[in-house]
Amino acid sequence: MSTNDYRIVREAAGVYPIAAPLIHLEGDERLALLDTFLSKSSDFADPDTTREALALRADGSPFALVLQVEGDEDTWLIPRTPITAAEVTEYVGALEVPEGVSVTVAPEGWSAIAVEGPLAPRVAENFVDGDIEDLLLHSVVDVERESGDGQGRLARVGTTGEYGYLLLTTDGEADLAQFVELATAVDGGAVGPDGLARVRAEAGMPYYDHGFATLSVAEADLSWIVDWERIGEFLGSDELVRPAADSPKLTPVVTAPGIRIAAGAPVIADGERIGTIVWTAAAGNDTEELAFALLDDPFVVPALDVKIDEVSAVTVTLPRVLSRSSAGASA
């Protein structure tokens, strides 16, 4: 039930397996390969760190947002937007892979598990030596196994505005069970996609779950993740259009609780159509319903009263909720 899952992520610790196909790169020239298709240069991709970047198609449209987990001798890419292993395999197959570099999609035996919420550190602390507070945002550490078997890396990274940790592991089934057990002990547990998607949307990251819905980089408001000084240096960059002040842009709108609106519905202001609903977030927060619209300029502003299929709505700012993690609720 998304309402309870929403509560868990907002108040406790929500555990979920990563459904996207993992991508493993090895070889000395792997960073050179990444530079041919990721929107950020690898110059500052230091070992034991994470970062997010866009992978584009040749026409400049976004293919996937990926989390890059950098090691000393290898790289993991974890898609953050909906994508299948077949689509990733086709995309990778079209790249010019340097000699000595291997790219494995969905490597056998590996999986990833995440925990997010203000009490997520109480779960993650059981997988590190020392204080979990010493693991800084975007940092990665190896996970030590008492038995000496298996491999794992823990990254401090999240998608909800709350504390978040992600475990890459060869002991996925056992680690997932332990994650859930530890989360349950702090009034959390396993969560499904709907409640998680709602928290992500409120944090300003709706694309994690709905993808890009045929939007361009500028329309999806993802220009911040592109290194515009590298135009011409990575796949699709020559087709990118720099965002302009008058460009249509993804904009959050809210309606009264219980009033749902559908994707594709027109957005009307003063009798004029100014945009279209792209995606509606799952229920979960009983104070309001949340959706995202592609709006024309100059209507990309907060506090604008609009009509959506005769339903009253208003444009708003993000994030919608002050995270408990920002108030130090993990103690």
Average the pLDDT over 297-317 and give the result.
96
What's this model's pTM, rounded to 2 decimal places? 0.94
The region of weakest confidence among 51-65, 133-147, 231-245 is 133-147
Tokens at residue 34, please?
Answer: 């990444």
The CATH number of the domain holding residue 16 is 3.30.1360.120
pLDDT of 2 strictly over 80 = no
In a domain, residue 12? The reply is yes
pLDDT of 42 strictly over 60 = yes
- Domain count within the chain: 1
Tokens at residue 68, please?
Answer: 């890059």
In a domain, residue 109? The reply is yes
CA distance 141 to 269: 51
pLDDT of 46 strictly over 80 = yes
pLDDT of residue 169: 96
In a domain, residue 258? The reply is no
* Pick from 139, 144, 37: nearest CA to 93: 37
In a domain, residue 235? The reply is no
pLDDT of residue 330: 54
Each residue's pLDDT tens digit, 111-150: 999 999 999 999 999 999 989 999 999 999 999 766 567 7
pLDDT of 321 strictly over 60 = yes
In a domain, residue 125? The reply is yes
Each residue's pLDDT tens digit, 286-295: 999 999 999 9
* Pick from 111, 23, 2: nearest CA to 66: 23
Give residue 75's domain range. Answer: 2-197
In a domain, residue 286? The reply is no
Determine the distance from the C-alpha atom of residue 36 to the mean position of all C-alpha atoms in its chain, rounded to a whole number.
22
In terms of Cβ atoms closer than 10 Å to its own Cβ (0-12, 13-18, 19+), residue 158 is buried
CA distance 307 to 237: 37
